[in-house]
Amino acid sequence: MTKIRKFMSDFKGKLFVFSAPSGSGKTTIVRHLLKQEQFNLEFSISATSREARGFEKDGEDYYFISLRDFKDKIKADEFLEWEEVYRDNFYGTLKSEIERIWAQKKHVIFDIDVVGGLRIKKKYPERTLSVFVKPPSVDELKIRLKKRKTESEEKINMRIAKASVELATAPQFDKIIKNYDLDVALKEAEDLMSDFLGLSDEQKANS
């Protein structure tokens, strides 16, 4: 109990960035890591100017804000990072979201596009571990996206075209996980987290 109290009093929040092209498996990896209590993680909820889709909930899936409010927050420098993905379709990470999570004495984990991920790393170089999740191939990506059956052929082709550009940014990240085998990728992600947090073998064993 004393060790836990000491850890919390010495707490300095870290940022874990996971980026990849759509279909690479980064969301699966992030969800797995969130379940590992030893990492003390909280998911960073992004803000967006688009409308909610399907069963998406405000404050759970995204913070849904109007286009005008989003632009006002940009002018007020309230974002850690933001991007206009498509025309008038903005996504970003509010500084208040990071402060909210660190106030709970938890580390922040992101499931984010490569541009946003690299911006976060640039702003917090010492406190951020940036990880790029690499798929086996672009062809495999296309197969995975088609299996989802959530998007049109045109949208899938747009994502594939974007993936080629995104894959070229991989060397700019601290670490690259090759997601050819999910179990191996999950173990590799856990090891990267443990090393960055400086967890002892005893803490890993007790998790």
Write the CATH number for 169.
3.40.50.300
In a domain, 63, yes or no: yes
Res 2 pLDDT > 50: no
Residue 3 within a domain: no
Q: Determine the Cα–Cα distance for residues 162 and 181; give it in Å rounded to an integer.
A: 23
Domain membership flag for residue 56: yes
- Select from 193, 173, 162, 166 the least CA-distant residue to 29: 193
* Within a domain: 69: yes
Residue 52 lies in a domain: yes
* 99, part of any domain: yes
- The domain in which residue 145 lies consists of 12-195
State how many domains the chain has. Answer: 1
Q: How far apart are CA 78 and CA 92, in angstroms?
A: 10
Q: pLDDT digit string (tens) for 9-45?
A: 568 999 999 999 888 889 999 999 999 999 999 999 9
- Mean pLDDT to the nearest integer, 160-186: 94
Is residue 1 domain-resident?
A: no
Q: Is the pLDDT score of 206 beyond 90? A: no
For residue 207, tell me if it sits in a domain.
no
Q: What is the pLDDT of residues 63-110, one digit of tens each?
A: 999 999 999 999 999 999 999 987 889 999 999 999 999 999 999 999
